[in-house]
Amino acid sequence: MFDFFKKKIAGDSAAKPKKEKAVVKTEKELATERNEPWVHIVSVELDPQNIGNGAFELDWNDKFVTNLVRAGYKGKDDAQMVDQWFQDVCRNVVMETFEQQEANNPRSVGAVQRKNIGGGRSEVS
């Protein structure tokens, strides 16, 4: 009698279709499937003794590197080209910040300053 129940239970569980786990794709995999360039900052490390020093860890797909090559980046490997690109991005951020500060600074080079020194005269600097 127990054999009958064992076979029945085993047969029922074997007959049930197993649920497949849904495959979750990463942003990188999805971008690669769409043939889109993809780059991502994985981590940022800061030197606790000198907060101005640090490092970024980047990840990218082949399409991103292809676009870098088309844009004229050269290097011995993909990492070197991505590093050059990242340095360019950082340099551009610094330059934009500097230009904005200079535009907001009335004493910046090229700005004309007038100072009344009396007697109808002005000092221009």
pTM, to two decimals: 0.64
With cut-offs at 50, 70 and 90, classify the pLDDT of residue 7: low
Q: What is the 3-state secondary structure (H, E, C) of 58-79?
A: EEECHHHHHHHHHCCCCCCCHH
Within the chain, strands assigned E span: 39-47, 50-60, 114-118, 121-124
pLDDT score at 28: 97
Give the whole-angstrom CA distance, residue 29 versus residue 17: 29
pLDDT score at 75: 94
Per residue in 51-106, pLDDT (tens digit) is: 889 999 999 999 999 999 999 999 999 999 999 999 999 999 999 988 888 878 76
Give the whole-angstrom CA distance, residue 74 versus residue 83: 11
Q: What is the DSSP letter of 27?
A: H
pLDDT score at 41: 96
pLDDT score at 117: 78
Q: Which of 9-13, 56-60, 109-113, 116-120 has the highest mean pLDDT?
A: 56-60
Give the whole-angstrom CA distance, residue 46 versus residue 9: 59
pLDDT score at 112: 62
Per residue in 11-55, pLDDT (tens digit) is: 555 556 677 888 899 999 999 999 999 999 999 999 999 988 999
pLDDT score at 40: 97
Break the chain into its structural domains and give their ranges: 25-105
Structure tokens that stand for 123 in this block: 């000092």
